[in-house]
Amino acid sequence: MKVVQTKDTLSTIYLDAVRIRNQVFVVEQGVPLTREIDKDEAHCVHFVLYSDEKKPCGTVRLLPLENGKMKLQRMAILAEYRHQGLGKILVEEAEVFSKKRGYNTILLGAQATAEAFYEKLGFQAYGEPFEDAGMPHVHMKKEF
């Protein structure tokens, strides 16, 4: 397994990220494509996890915010690669990336079904639950 990252929205890495997100969010979850691809794409660092066979398996992106914060977004693992610890690898890579660049907090809006996953990685829920793209979500953060 190998995780690579890019800010280049014309790169094959970014296109792999978009393909994964399209499959997971648009096809599986019914999120409108116009909502999935947004104005923040060019401002984010996009991570893609590739299998040993060089197949894209999962993705996540980081959006830099002010005051030492990063926002983790668009976490997606293709169905055939789920429950193998790949999401944990991606989140840990995003955390290392953030720490190395002087960020001290990662924020995210987790689908309610993923709250326990993020809790195991040290994230804490805060604030009121909310709905995004028709699905219940919870605000979460991890400070380091």
Which pLDDT tens digit goes with each residue over 10-22? 999 999 999 999 9
- Delineate the domains of the chain, giving CATH numbers in brackets: 2-143 (3.40.630.30)
Please give the Cα distance from 106 to 22 (Å, whole number): 24
pLDDT at 53: 96
Please give the Cα distance from 92 to 121 (Å, whole number): 8
Average pLDDT over residues 139-144: 97
Which residue reads 């040290």 in tokens?
122
Which pLDDT tens digit goes with each residue over 48-69? 999 999 999 999 999 999 999 9
Please give the Cα distance from 61 to 82 (Å, whole number): 18
CA 127, 45, 50, 32 dihedral sign is positive
Please give the helix or strand (H or E) that residue 143 lies within, else none: strand 135-143
Does this model's pTM top 0.85?
A: yes
